[in-house]
Amino acid sequence: MGYKEKEIVKLYYSIGEVAEMMNVNTSLIRYWEKEFDLLKPKKSANGERSFTKEDITIIQLIYHLVRERGFTLDGAKLQLKSNLKTAQRHMLIVQKLQHLRQFLVEMKEQL
């Protein structure tokens, strides 16, 4: 699994919290924010970013496309623009399969 699975329970998250959830640097998230129009976190008067659950879902999707599936940034942009729902469904399926695999490996180790 590429990033840490952590339950999203707050309304807003700082860029540091999001980076920790995704196991990436904050600079990568800022870079993706510039590159992907879908990613628009709220900014305070002093420039601090606040990410919502929806923003985090977009970041997870970008991570899935770029880091796990090997898309280029342009390819990921095109995929998100043309097939956002399909890409989200695919990412959810992959996550569920990864959880299932992890569960089965743990079960095997207990035998």
Residue 9 domain-assigned (yes or no)? no
DSSP for residue 66 = I
* Residues 80 and 74 sit within 8 Å (Cβ to Cβ): no
Residue 58 domain-assigned (yes or no)? yes
Q: What is the pLDDT of residue 15?
A: 94
């590159």: which residue's tokens? 35
CATH of the domain at 104: 1.10.1660.10
* Residues 61 and 86 sit within 8 Å (Cβ to Cβ): no
Q: What is the pLDDT of residue 35?
A: 93
- Residue span of the structural domain in which 46 resides: 15-110
Domain count, the chain: 1
pTM: 0.73
Using one digit for the tens of pLDDT, what is the confidence trace for 20-53? 999 999 999 999 999 998 898 998 888 899 999 8
Residue 51 domain-assigned (yes or no)? yes
